[in-house]
């Protein structure tokens, strides 16, 4: 490799900002729309087979339909914020349901969008997905291909003998990707709460993994997930679940927050600044829990405070919060 190539490589940021074009839109169930993106710039985005719960940012076009022009460098976020609000579009966080790379490097990025379209409880991402057509474009901020140093993957089971994954429909794509990338001898259980029975999707999970879909059929977010997870852990009926802790119908949007303000407590990082015991001891079991922030907070309280599960064994992640629009 020449000196110039070397210099270019060291200057590159671990994330890349690329334009992607909708190639296919499939309504895979009542609550999910699967969008497949293609485009030359995607060749440099994402790491196939090392995706797990990798988060990406999607920038949806503003009303004009014109996407902002952003340089592919470390200043992309500042540059995006500097664009006048009416031309900036909206940014939201999503998971990679699939990343398919052909022999020639041609790349397909698949994202499963949850449709939440009730008046007063919808947002630009869900609205965009509900109207997406072949040829539509958006911007994707994803790991630069070959770079694993940018973060954004939280799933880290270490040497745990078994795993428990739990989440609502927004976490379903990440859980599915994790299960499809785990070694075939991985063991554990996944609880996935979805709006309806018809939202149970195909996942190619290892044979030693039980996948339990929990349709909540009109009940509040967490109504199925919380009791099922607690019952599985042997905490039958202990510690009543406060209705306030559940997600429920989002209701009118009352605030706007950034993802950094959501509950985020992992073995490596505590959003609240809580001390984490040194050295993750995953020998027994690793827990990965994501979804509506209030629901995840309730599960956290039960697991850590009442069941005494070590913080270093669990990743608790708020993926959205009812009544609150995300800023990115």
Ligand X SMILES: Cc1cc2nc3c(=O)[nH]c(=O)nc-3n(C[C@H](O)[C@H](O)[C@H](O)COP(=O)(O)OP(=O)(O)OC[C@H]3O[C@@H](n4cnc5c(N)ncnc54)[C@H](O)[C@@H]3O)c2cc1C
Question: What residue ranges bind ligand X (CB under 6 A)?
Answer: 55, 92-95, 112-114, 116, 121-126, 170, 173, 250, 253, 259, 319-326
CB of 90 to ligand X, least distance (A): 6
CB of 48 to ligand X, least distance (A): 17
Task: Please enumerate in sequence order all residues whose Cβ is within 8 A of that of 137, keeping only pairs 6 or more positions apart, or say none.
Answer: 19, 20, 21, 22, 39, 61, 67
SS3 content of the chain, % helix, strand, coil (to 5): 25, 30, 45
CB neighbour class for 289 (10 Å; exposed up to 12, middle 13-18, buried from 19): buried
Residue 203 or 307: which CB sits closer to ligand X?
203
CB of 114 to ligand X, least distance (A): 3
Number of H helices, E strands in the chain: 7, 15
To the nearest 10 degrees (0 to 180), the angle between helices 225-232 and 293-300 is: 20
- Measured CA to CA, the distance from residue 100 to residue 107 in angstroms comes to 6
Residue 33 or 303: which CB sits closer to ligand X?
33
Residue 55 or 246: which CB sits closer to ligand X?
55
Residue 286 or 320: which CB sits closer to ligand X?
320
The residue number whose beta carbon is nearest to ligand X equals 123
CB of 128 to ligand X, least distance (A): 8
Q: Are 166 and 229 in contact (CB under 8 A)?
A: yes
Residue 150 or 208: which CB sits closer to ligand X?
150
CB of 252 to ligand X, least distance (A): 7
């Amino acid at each position: 490799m020449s000196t110039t190539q070397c210099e270019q490589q060291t200057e590159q940021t671990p994330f890349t900002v690329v334009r992607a074009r909708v190639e296919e839109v499939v309504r895979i169930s009542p609550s999910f729309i699967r969008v497949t993106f293609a485009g030359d710039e995607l060749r440099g985005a994402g790491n196939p087979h090392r995706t797990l719960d990798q988060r990406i940012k999607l920038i949806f076009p503003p009303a004009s339909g014109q996407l902002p022009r952003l340089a592919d460098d470390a200043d992309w976020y500042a540059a995006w914020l500097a664009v006048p609000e009416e031309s900036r579009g909206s940014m939201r966080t999503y998971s990679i349901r699939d990343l398919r790379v052909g022999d020639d490097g041609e790349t397909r990025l698949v994202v499963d969008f949850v449709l939440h379209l009730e008046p007063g409880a919808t947002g630009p991402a869900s609205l965009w997905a509900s109207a997406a057509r072949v040829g539509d474009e958006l911007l994707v901020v994803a790991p630069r291909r070959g770079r694993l140093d940018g973060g954004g993957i939280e799933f880290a089971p270490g040497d745990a003998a078994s795993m428990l994954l739990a989440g609502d429909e927004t976490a379903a794509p990440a859980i599915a990707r994790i299960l499809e990338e785990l070694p075939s001898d991985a063991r554990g259980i996944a609880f996935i709460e979805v709006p309806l029975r018809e939202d149970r999707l195909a996942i190619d999970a290892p044979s030693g993994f039980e996948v339990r879909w929990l349709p909540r059929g009109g009940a509040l977010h967490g109504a199925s997930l919380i009791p099922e997870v607690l019952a599985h852990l042997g905490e039958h009926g202990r510690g009543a679940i406060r209705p306030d802790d559940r997600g429920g119908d989002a209701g009118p949007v009352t605030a706007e927050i950034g993802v950094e303000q959501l509950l985020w407590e992992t073995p490596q990082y505590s959003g609240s600044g809580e001390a984490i015991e040194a050295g993750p001891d995953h020998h027994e079991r690793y827990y990965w829990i994501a979804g509506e922030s209030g629901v995840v907070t309730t599960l956290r309280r039960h697991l850590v405070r009442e069941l005494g599960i070590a913080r270093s064994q669990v990743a608790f992640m708020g993926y959205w919060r009812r009544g609150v629009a995300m800023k990115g």
